[in-house]
Structure 1
Amino acid sequence: MPLSSSHLFRAFTLMLFLPIYFTSAAAALDLKQADHQRFAAKETLLTEMSGLASSYLRKNHFWAHNDSGDRGRLFSFDDKGNAVTQLIINGSSAFDWEDMSSFKDSSGAYLLIGDIGDNMMLRPFTDVYLVREPENVSKAIVQSNILRHYSLVYEDGPHDAEALAVDAAERLVYILTKRDSHPRLYRFSLDAITAKAIPLTYMGEVRSIPSIEKHTAQRQGGISGGSPTAMEFSPKGDMALIVTLRNTYYFKREKTESWLEALNKNAFAITKNRMRQTEAATFTADGEKVLIGSEGRPAILELFDTPQH
């Protein structure tokens, strides 16, 4: 029996959209089958991992720190979890270290540590420390002096934050708050004068988690499954990730976009956090992989391919 014109139209429409459907399904399948490598950090003192950063001097090596209650120090390990060294940061306090980042420029490789936690939102200022990444890590314990100590002030009052990322090309550091009704994005310059308190510049709210359509306000001062616990920018500056207790969200950034604009788009990929208390993440120095870490004894981490956008 010959097909009617309506049947022909439906058949043509189905053929037109089938490639798009299978392309989308394949992309989702590729993300689920990404090369996941789970391992435990063998550093026994890393019991409450809250921040992660990639080494820019040693391939497939990382730096991490504990949450509040520890001293001012970092731990280095490789992509098998083998401990490399402990870095003591002389002169630093460790009220509530929550996140860290790393970068490299023409003058060397650096580590940036954010003492930015404030559960009760009472601190008059928070601290960020800049140190040079040590070249010699042959000893079990090495030491470093602070290059720059940024004492930061929110002009609208204290905020709790666990997410910090640096854009080396802009020479700007970004902080994303945790306990506000909508996460708030702030920034300051790496080149800010450190002789006095540095006011943080408010950029705006981020309303894209879990998506623009489903985003809702959380209770002011409280936390939810969508509260940010880490943030990082890719080395090329074309992607950002935000970690929450439930998921990790990936955002594409166009060359003409600000980070606020990029973070307020729907995430192009979402990965489920399969570990307890996930609070740390970083891109590898080449941007090809992502490392996600959780608190616990021992600290458990997952290394996998960066989602393709």
Structure 2
Amino acid sequence: MTRLASLLMIACLSAAIGADEPATAPQTPSPSAGQRLPAWRVEDAAVRSGNQAIKLMERQLTESSGVAFSRRKPNRIWSHNDSGGRARLFCFDHRGQATGSVTLAGVRAVDWEAMDCFQVNGRPYLMAADVGDNDRRRGGVTLYVFSEPDPDRHQHVNAILQINLTYQGGATNCEAVAVDVSGKQILLLSKSPLLSSLHRIELPATEQIERHIQQPGLHQLAMESKWLAAVPLPLVTGMDICPKTGDIWACNYLHAIRFAKLPEKSVAVQIQQSPEMISLPQLKQVEAIAIDQQGRAWVTSEGSPTPLRRVVRQKPRPQRIDTTP
């Protein structure tokens, strides 16, 4: 499928599910919202308003496919390349200047498509998701979990939990992965021309993660995903969960999509409601989305330097009141 055909398909399907209608479901704070998280504070007013992008200044980052805000230091954001590169993550400050990097020792990046940074019991972790499978031929995919290192240093990590994942129902192409700390699960949203599918695995307990990464090496853990729901979203390229509200965000090449948190409802119910769809700014090819600690959405696109741009939500349209007698 050509890129033009993909964009036309997304536009048609977006119109069908109400791209201009913001979700009206009530929101409740996520149970993880009380955690103290490092703040992401952007000084440039044009960047804050979404009119300009931050340029991530790292020549070796040319195809940003995953992005996540640091849970260890304020004003730090991680990103990584797509397939074919080294197993490495780059870190930047709020001005786009490179601050550090981490290389995963003994790991080969087959098709890295997503990442997340999460905090459990005050301990920050990074997860890199080697889950791309365009031809649906991989017998299994891999998630790498390790302690978030100092974002301001260049270093190697050699104590890693390697989750070897197989899907219920067979091979699946995926570019969108997010850690749901409050639900104690890892969510995976497939990439498909028409209908995406939401899968989950349990998030290993902190004690289990720590036990695996206390000693150097790749510590194997086999898991099978559980299918949760079908989602009428085409070509999903990224996903994140808002640390402030618990809203689930996703993106494709044309839109950022917000599924509001529903009180006392599962994520399967949450992601099947009518979402709020926000048109993306003109970028080459959006591959990742991350939500900052204030609940603002940011996307990255392919390119060098890599653009990081805020997605601004549309203001609700005022309703007209018919006063005709």
| TM-score computed with the length of structure 1 as normaliser | 0.78
The one-letter amino acid of 1:69's match is: G
* Corresponding position of 1:300: 307
Do the aligned residues in 2 keep the contact of 1:248 with 1:273 (CA within 8 Å)? no
Please give the residue correspondences for 1:201-212 in structure 2 after superposition, counting only pairs within 5 Å.
201-207=226-232, 209=233
CA RMSD of aligned residues (A): 2.5
* Corresponding position of 1:39: 54
Q: Which one is further off, 249-258 or 61-70?
A: 249-258
The one-letter amino acid of 1:166's match is: V
Match 1:80 to one of 80, 95, 98: 95
Do the aligned residues in 2 keep the contact of 1:34 with 1:305 (CA within 8 Å)? no
CA distance in 2, matches of 1:204, 1:307: 27
**Runs of 5+ unmatched residues, structure 1:** 1-23, 26-32, 210-225
Do the aligned residues in 2 keep the contact of 1:91 with 1:146 (CA within 8 Å)? no
Do the aligned residues in 2 keep the contact of 1:130 with 1:146 (CA within 8 Å)? no
SS in 1 for 2:270: helix
Shift of 1:288: 3.1
Shift of 1:251: 1.4
Structure 1 stretches of at least 4 aligned residues deviating more than 6 Å after TM superposition: 306-309
* Corresponding position of 2:104: 89
Shift of 1:273: 3.8
Match 1:271 to one of 279, 300, 304: 279
The one-letter amino acid of 1:203's match is: L
Q: 1:274 to 1:198 in 2, by over 3 A?
A: same
The one-letter amino acid of 1:274's match is: Q
**Runs of 5+ unmatched residues, structure 2:** 1-20, 23-46, 209-218, 317-325
* 1:200 and 2:225 aligned: yes
Please give the residue correspondences for 1:195-274 in structure 2 after superposition, counting only pairs within 5 Å.
195-207=220-232, 209=233, 226-274=234-282
SS in 2 for 1:147: strand
* Corresponding position of 1:184: 197
* Corresponding position of 1:100: 115
The one-letter amino acid of 2:235's match is: S
Do the aligned residues in 2 keep the contact of 1:111 with 1:132 (CA within 8 Å)? yes
Deviations 1:8-63 (A, max 9, x none): xxxxxxxxxxxxxxxx99xxxxxxx9711412110111001000000011222100
CA distance in 2, matches of 1:107, 1:195: 24
SS in 1 for 2:283: coil
Do the aligned residues in 2 keep the contact of 1:287 with 1:306 (CA within 8 Å)? no
* Corresponding position of 1:18: none
CA distance in 2, matches of 1:128, 1:42: 27
Larger Rg over CA atoms: 1
CA distance in 2, matches of 1:145, 1:180: 37
The one-letter amino acid of 2:79's match is: A
Match 2:86 to one of 50, 71, 76: 71
* Corresponding position of 1:156: 169
| TM-score computed with the length of structure 2 as normaliser | 0.74
Do the aligned residues in 1 keep the contact of 2:229 with 2:272 (CA within 8 Å)? no
Do the aligned residues in 1 keep the contact of 2:237 with 2:287 (CA within 8 Å)? yes
Higher RCO (Cα < 8 Å, 6 or more apart): 2
SS in 2 for 1:260: helix
The one-letter amino acid of 1:290's match is: A
CA distance in 1, matches of 2:222, 2:286: 31
CA distance in 2, matches of 1:175, 1:144: 25
CA distance in 1, matches of 2:179, 2:315: 21
Shift of 1:265: 1.3
